[in-house]
Chain A
Amino acid sequence: MYNVYCVKWGDKYNRDFVTRLKDNVESNTTLDIKFWCYTDQPESEYDIPVKYPYLRGVWHKLALFEFTGPSIFFDLDVEIKKNIDFLFTDFQELTLIDSSRWKAKRTFDKDIFRFRLYNDTRVNSSFMRWYDSRSIFKNFLSNRDTHLRLYNGIDGFIYNENVSYRLLKDIHVASWQQKEPDDEAPIFLWNQRYD
């Protein structure tokens, strides 16, 4: 069995996003999966209460690494358009999304100085896949205060703190931030456009 997680913290996204994602995932895989929602407001039988209540927002995504076994995470604003069985493989190393395709012109090519100054990132954690990444969260907690100060979110932390990861193949992911997003990609990232 595979575990699929999401995180709902605070009121940025309402409960509908959780149920929509759950339906979305379950209807687009033929595999044996268990859906979990890691949340500060548990109300369903598949909810797991947050373990570190002093953390805020996206930082709870890192706490998911305390769960081991074949695991997949989706942000609440991810839309799954097609079958995603192909995602449930290669769990050995942490897998993330390469965000440089839609950030290239904006950040990397034009302003590398700004990129380094703001500890920017070329990875996106709207999708994550892992088996045992406990050391990443342990590393974060060991110097939590500094990491919270330096990085806007976990993407910056992972990219700049020498975390080992691999990237999901480009053909599987599209984002509204691309000029011409691929309609055939099974995973579509809204990247907070719902705000």
Chain B
Amino acid sequence: MIDFENTKVLQELIRKYPGRVLDYLNSCNETQWLSKRWLAEKLNLYLYKHGKRDGSYNIALLGGWYGLLAHILIEELGVEIEQIDSFDIDYMTKKVGKILPLDKDIIKFHIQDIIEINFDDSYDIIINTSTEHMEQEIVNHTIDTAVSGTMFVLQSNNFFDLQEHINCSESEEEFNDRYHWHFDEYVSWTKPWPASMGDHERYMSFGIKK
């Protein structure tokens, strides 16, 4: 059974934005939870080794959708978070996000094309779990415009069947070939996804921009 808080959320979503209900539910499906929790688990270890000794974190989420990852980071990351800026080009993510039970003091939704952003020194961590949805030059732009020392978290996959996936990677090796030379302390992983969730591999890497 869903709890009363989520019942209220769904009722309001259905009333206000019925055409977004399924998309919201999809943004919280098992695959999404698994990949985001995998990220949080590995990032905790990485921050323990390479993170700040003190102070809080400003985090940018690129292609943040309705905010699931932002929510998981607040719940599961063992560091203090000052602010999470969730960028998405879809103007409805902000409207839907307002309805959702998210920590609005920390999570800020921004409707902006990330190709227009100069990241400079604005963020301690820049997270992009949607690289397969973006042209490579856009992903490169986000890395190029950030200052040295910015931590990056990148995810992709080899799930070519989905029509939104225009920039998948063939393998972890091919994924790393695109990014490793940008970063120090570069690490990467592969996680196989079962047939029930599309039978593909997901790739993830962390690094500190040189």
Q: Which positions in A face B, CB cutoff 8 Å? A: 54-57, 59, 113, 116-119, 142-146, 148-150, 160
A57-B161 Cα distance, complex, nearest whole Å: 13
**Residue among A56, A118, A146, A160 with max Cβ neighbours from chain B (10 Å):** A146
Whether the Cβ atoms of B164 and A117 lie closer than 8 Å is no
Proximity bits, B75-96, A CB within 8 Å = 1, else 0:
0000000000000011010000
Whether the Cβ atoms of A119 and B163 lie closer than 8 Å is no
Question: Cβ of B18 < 8 Å from any Cβ of A?
Answer: yes
Chain B residues lying within 8 Å of A116, measured Cβ to Cβ, are 18-19
Whether the Cβ atoms of A119 and B90 lie closer than 8 Å is no
Whether the Cβ atoms of A143 and B166 lie closer than 8 Å is no
A150-B163 Cα distance, complex, nearest whole Å: 12
| 17 extra A-B contacts, CB within 8 A, seeds A56-B163, A117-B19, A145-B89 | A55-B163, A57-B163, A116-B18, A116-B19, A117-B14, A117-B18, A117-B21, A119-B19, A142-B89, A143-B89, A143-B90, A145-B90, A146-B90, A146-B92, A148-B163, A148-B164, A149-B23
Chain B residues lying within 8 Å of A54, measured Cβ to Cβ, are 166
Chain A residues lying within 8 Å of B166, measured Cβ to Cβ, are 54
Q: Which of B18, B89, B92, B164 contacts A113 (CB 8 A)?
A: B18
Q: In this complex, what residue of A is CB-closest to B134?
A: A145
A160-B18 Cα distance, complex, nearest whole Å: 12
Question: Cβ of B195 < 8 Å from any Cβ of A?
Answer: no
Question: Cβ of B22 < 8 Å from any Cβ of A?
Answer: yes
**Residue among B19, B23, B89, B166 with max Cβ neighbours from chain A (10 Å):** B19
Whether the Cβ atoms of A118 and B22 lie closer than 8 Å is yes
Chain A residues lying within 8 Å of B89, measured Cβ to Cβ, are 142-143, 145-146
Q: Interface SS of chain B: helix, strand, loop or mixed?
A: helix
Chain A residues lying within 8 Å of B26, measured Cβ to Cβ, are 149
A57-B21 Cα distance, complex, nearest whole Å: 25
A144-B19 Cα distance, complex, nearest whole Å: 17
Q: Which of A142, A143, A148, A150 contacts B19 (CB 8 A)?
A: A150
Q: In this complex, what residue of A is CB-closest to B113?
A: A142
Q: Which of A57, A59, A117, A144 contacts B22 (CB 8 A)?
A: A117
Question: Cβ of B133 < 8 Å from any Cβ of A?
Answer: yes
Chain A residues lying within 8 Å of B14, measured Cβ to Cβ, are 117
Can you name 23 A-B residue pairings with CB atoms under 8 Å?
A55-B163, A56-B163, A57-B163, A59-B163, A113-B18, A116-B19, A117-B18, A117-B19, A117-B21, A118-B22, A119-B19, A143-B89, A144-B164, A145-B89, A145-B133, A145-B164, A146-B89, A146-B90, A148-B164, A149-B23, A149-B26, A149-B164, A160-B19
A149-B90 Cα distance, complex, nearest whole Å: 11
Q: In this complex, what residue of B is CB-closest to A160?
A: B19
Q: In this complex, what residue of A is CB-closest to B27?
A: A149
A180-B18 Cα distance, complex, nearest whole Å: 33
Instruction: In the A-B complex, list the 10 residue pairs whose CB atoms are closest, starting with the nearest.
Output: A116-B18, A146-B90, A54-B166, A56-B163, A119-B19, A148-B164, A145-B133, A145-B164, A117-B18, A148-B163
Chain B residues lying within 8 Å of A55, measured Cβ to Cβ, are 163
A148-B90 Cα distance, complex, nearest whole Å: 12
Q: In this complex, what residue of B is CB-closest to A56?
A: B163
